Amino acid sequence: MNGTRKICVITGANKGIGYEAALTLGLMGWEVVLACRSFARGNQAVMALNSVFRQTDPGGKNQGLAVFMELDLASFASVDNFVVGFKKRYHACDALICNAGQMGGPYAQTAEGFERQVGVNYLGHVALFARLYPFLKGSPDARVVQVSSRAHERATLAEGEFPRIARQPEDTYNPWKAYAQSKLLQVLFTLKAQEVYGSDTVRFYAVHPGVVATDLLLSPLPGLARTILRPLARVFTAVGLLQTPKQGGDAITHPVLASPPLPGGTYWAEGSPREPNPLARSKTLQDDVWNHTWNLLEAFRIQAP
């Protein structure tokens, strides 16, 4: 570890916009921790990134560094193990980009029995934030970015509903409704966290990176549909109908790199400020989801910082 480098944790950074975000930061001299499920894919990404960093800064004076650390957001035990390893290597965290996620797909549960999209996209990242908060406070200018989606703008969520959707059974599961709700939860958390923890040293952002041609976009589709649409996605990207992974990566690093800092507790879409779903602005709903979130997590010894 180079003590002069800034440190950023990026979940799901072995490919797609997370990888591009790691590349952007590393080229600026950051140390990027790729927090990923797959040991093989994570280490492969680290090797590729570090090769680029060495080539672009052969003298090493401002050379970035990529490090792989295993993390499965569908398991709170994995979150705890990740933070134990992080603590052995680092004393502070300058940025946390909550990028990993699941989009649609068949019904599944996390290790703790939560519906998987809400569990991974939202609860897993909140647990990670809670464990990393002391390290974020150790930075003079920390940024926390939730990679949300404009899908949240169509989501519905009633007061008192969150505990039910967090543990909803398969017979009530709608994959796209669950995805949109998980993204709304991320925005609700961002706005409330800025109120509770936001200061001159920690700021919170939610970002829609654009509709990007990545595996996340195609993964919910059947195999034949993926085969047909993958080349079409490349065409749509070439003509500007879809964002490139590089453009998506730039969108999620924008709040991290902005100087002076962007206002905390804000929602950004493709690099520009945007009003979120009006539900995200509801103080009553913010408080309701916030309290229920920590009540659920406290059952697993994860407490609000």
Structure tokens that stand for 133 in this block: 């908060």
Query: What are the DSSP calls for the chain, one per residue?
Result: --TTS-EEEEETTTSHHHHHHHHHHHHTT-EEEEEES-HHHHHHHHHHHHHHHHHH-TT-TT--EEEEEE--TT-HHHHHHHHHHHHHH-S--SEEEE-----S-S--B-TTS-BHHIIIIIIIHHHHHHHHHHHHHTSSSEEEEEE--GGGGG----TT-HHHHHT--GGG--HHHHHHHHHHHHHHHHHHHHHHH-SSSEEEEEEE--SB-SHHHHTTS-HHHHHHHHHHHHHHHHTTSSB-HHHHHHHHHHHHH-SSPPPSSEEEETTEE----GGGG-HHHHHHHHHHHHHHHHTTT----
Active-site residue flag, 90: no
> What dihedral angle (degrees, nearest 10) is formed by the CA atoms of 107, 145, 126, 79?
80
Q: What are phi and psi of 58, to 5 degrees?
A: -60, -25
Q: For residues 55 and 206, give the distance between their C-alpha atoms in angstroms, rounded to a whole number.
A: 33
The catalytic residue among 179, 197, 205, 267 is 179
What does each C-alpha distance from 18 to 9, 13, 180 come to in angstroms? 10, 4, 20
Angle at alpha carbon of residue 269, lines to 268 and 273, rounded to 5°: 45
Catalytic sites, residue numbers: 179
